[in-house]
Amino acid sequence: MSLIARIIAEDALAMEQLRAVRELALPDWCIAAGFVRNRVWDHLHGIVPARLPVDIDVLYFDAGDVSRESEAAFERRLEALLPGLPWQVRNQARMHVWKDLPPHLNTADSMIYWLETVTGVGVRLEADDTLTVIAPLGTDDLLNLRCRPTPYGRTRRHEYDARVEAKRWRDLWPGVAFLD
C-alpha cells in the first residue's frame, strides 16, 4: 500500500467520506485536491489528527450528462448520507469549458489542467475496500513536501501564485518548499 493510501486508510473520517461517495456509484470518480493534499502534508508535519478540509472535492467523469443539476443532486445525496460536510461534486466532462480547453478524456486527464502538482492527486475506494490513488502528474512533489505549478499552471503563473497565497499554505505547512 502506498504511503498516500495508508494515510487515508488510517483516517476514519476520510474513509467514512469515501464510503459515502462510493455509494453514489459515479463513473470514474475520486476525491481529490485538499482531501488528499492536506492530509498528507498534515501527516508529514506531525499534525494529528489531520485538519478538516475546507471542501471535499468529489470528481467524476460522465460525458453523457454534463448538467449542473446532476452535480447538485449528487451533493444532496451526499448531504443526506453525511450531513453538514462541504461537498463539492464536479463532473470533469464539463470542466474544460470554463478553462477554454479541449474536452477532457477522463477524470485523470482533467487533473493535469489544475494549477499545482500537489493538488492533482485523488483517491477512490474500490468495491473490495482497497484504495486507488489517481495521480496523473505523480506523487513525488506531494510526498517530498514540494509545491510547484503544473505545466498548465506555468501558463497561468499569476493564478498559481495568488492561489498559494490565498490558501496560506506557507503558514499551514512551513516544511513545504515552493518551487518554480
- Amino acid 53: pLDDT: 85
Report pLDDT for 1.
80
For residue 176 the three cell numbers come to: 513545504
Q: Are 41 and 53 within 8 A, CB to CB? A: no
Note whether 46 and 36 are within 8 A (CB): no
DSSP secondary structure string for all residues of 58-112: EEE--TT---HHHHHHHHHHHHHHSTT--EEEEETTSTHHHHT-PPPSSHHHHHT
Residues of the chain with pLDDT under 50: none
Domain limits for position 9: 3-178
* pLDDT at 140 (0 to 100): 98
Encoded amino acid at 78, one letter: L
Count structural domains, the chain.
Answer: 1
pTM of this prediction? Answer: 0.95
- pLDDT for 57 equals 98
Q: Residue 101: its pLDDT value, please?
A: 87
pLDDT on residue 23: 98
* CATH value at residue 99: 3.30.460.10
| Structural contact between residues 55 and 80, judged by C-beta atoms closer than 8 angstroms | no
